[in-house]
Amino acid sequence: MMNRSAFCLFLILLLSGCNFLPTNIVNEIDMSQGVGYDLSKKSNIKGTIVFPIFKKDKTSTTEVRAAIGKSSKEIRTILNNETRYPLVSGQLRVALYGKNLAKKGINDFVDTINRDPSIGSLVQMAIVDGDANQLYKMKKFKNDNVSVHIQELLEQNMKMGILPQTNLQSFLFQFFQIGQDPYLPLIKKEADNIRITGVAIFKDDRYVTSIPMKDFFIFKALVDKNSIGLRQFILANHDKVVLETLKSNAKYKVKIANGRPEFTITLKLKTRLQEFAPSEKKRQAFDKKKYQKQVEQEIEKSALSMVSQFQKHSVDPFGLGAKFKEQFRGFNEKQWNEGYPSVKVYVHADVEILQTGSID
Confidence of residue 57 (pLDDT cuts 50, 70, 90): low
Question: Cβ–Cβ contacts within 10 Å for residue 261, how many?
Answer: 21
Looking at the structure, do residues 43 and 146 belong to the same domain, yes or no? yes
State the chain's mean pLDDT as an integer.
87
pLDDT in tens, 98-107: 999 999 999 9
pLDDT in tens, 285-331: 788 999 999 999 999 999 999 999 999 999 999 999 999 999 888 89
Total domain count, the chain: 2
In a domain, 13, yes or no: no
In a domain, 147, yes or no: yes
Identify the weakest region by mean pLDDT among 41-45, 142-146, 316-320.
142-146
Helix (H) or strand (E) holding 74: helix 72-80
The pLDDT score that the predictor gives to residue 261 is 94
Looking at the structure, do residues 300 and 199 belong to the same domain, yes or no? no
Domain that holds residue 73: 28-211
Q: How many CA atoms lie within 13 A of 356 on its CB side?
A: 14
CATH of the domain at 259: 3.30.300.210
- Please check the confidence at residue 93 and state whether its pLDDT lies above 90: yes
Confidence of residue 27 (pLDDT cuts 50, 70, 90): low
Looking at the structure, do residues 187 and 287 belong to the same domain, yes or no? no
The pLDDT score that the predictor gives to residue 51 is 87
Looking at the structure, do residues 46 and 179 belong to the same domain, yes or no? yes
d(CA 265, CA 60): 51
pTM: 0.88
In a domain, 173, yes or no: yes
The pLDDT score that the predictor gives to residue 42 is 81
The pLDDT score that the predictor gives to residue 23 is 47
Looking at the structure, do residues 169 and 93 belong to the same domain, yes or no? yes
Classified as helix, coil or strand, 239 is coil
In a domain, 160, yes or no: yes
The domain boundary, picked from 188, 211, 234, lies at: 211
Confidence of residue 203 (pLDDT cuts 50, 70, 90): very high
Looking at the structure, do residues 155 and 36 belong to the same domain, yes or no? yes
Looking at the structure, do residues 191 and 232 belong to the same domain, yes or no? no
Looking at the structure, do residues 236 and 207 belong to the same domain, yes or no? no
DSSP states of 119-159: S-TT-EEEEESS-HHHHHT-GGGTTS-HHHHHHHHHHHHHH
Question: Cβ–Cβ contacts within 10 Å for residue 76, how many?
Answer: 19
